[in-house]
Amino acid sequence: MDIDLIGQLRNKTGKSAARRLRREEMVPAVLYGPKMEVLSLSVSSRRLERLLRDMGEESRLLNLSIEGSPETGTKKVLIREVQVHPVRRRFLHVDFYEVPLDHPIVVIVPVEPVGDAVGVKKGGTLDLVRRTVSVRCLPGEIPEKIELDVSKLDLGEAIHVRDLAKIVPFELVDDKHLSIVNISAPEGAGKGGAAGEE
């Protein structure tokens, strides 16, 4: 099993202890879940930064190894919240949530259009209105991304959440009427057509 992050148990809390951790390039963190007591941890700031950069907008199940605690071992967790300093842009705090593997959870999954849309070949523009969708599934079934075939999409047409719900094997929790991708007609297409007929 690959370890994404190592969390070290911290016994001291409060502002002064948190500042000391940040000077050591560590980030104060907490781990909580429905079947465990809240643990105060610290994680590497550099490792967290790399991890978040690699994840992008994806909700990824992480392997968090805990050191120095009776709760030793590796936990399956999601990052619930990351607090960042508004000016210095350094990490202030991170919340981890231990995921029950037998219960569905709601996560955010990136959407990736694939294929050459008919409307684009006619001069239209593909607009990705929503880059992510919210999905309810078991933790072990979280998709890395959802590929959306746009090859049949013509000028003025769109794919909505309700359309995507018909082709994916899990529940989408976003409003079914929301557009995900559409094809915009080229500017002046109507005028161009009229001019060509004169």
Q: What is the pLDDT of residues 116-127, one digit of tens each?
A: 999 999 999 999
- Tokens 């694939």 sit on residue: 114
What is residue 69's predicted lDDT score, i.e. its pLDDT? 64
pTM of the model: 0.73
In the chain, how many domains are there? 2
Residues 110 and 176 in one domain: yes
Cα distances from 150 to residues 11, 70, 158, 168, in angstroms, run 53, 51, 9, 15
- Name the residue range of residue 68's domain: 5-98
Q: What is the CATH number of the domain that holds 172?
A: 2.170.120.20
Alpha carbon 148 to chain centroid, angstroms: 17
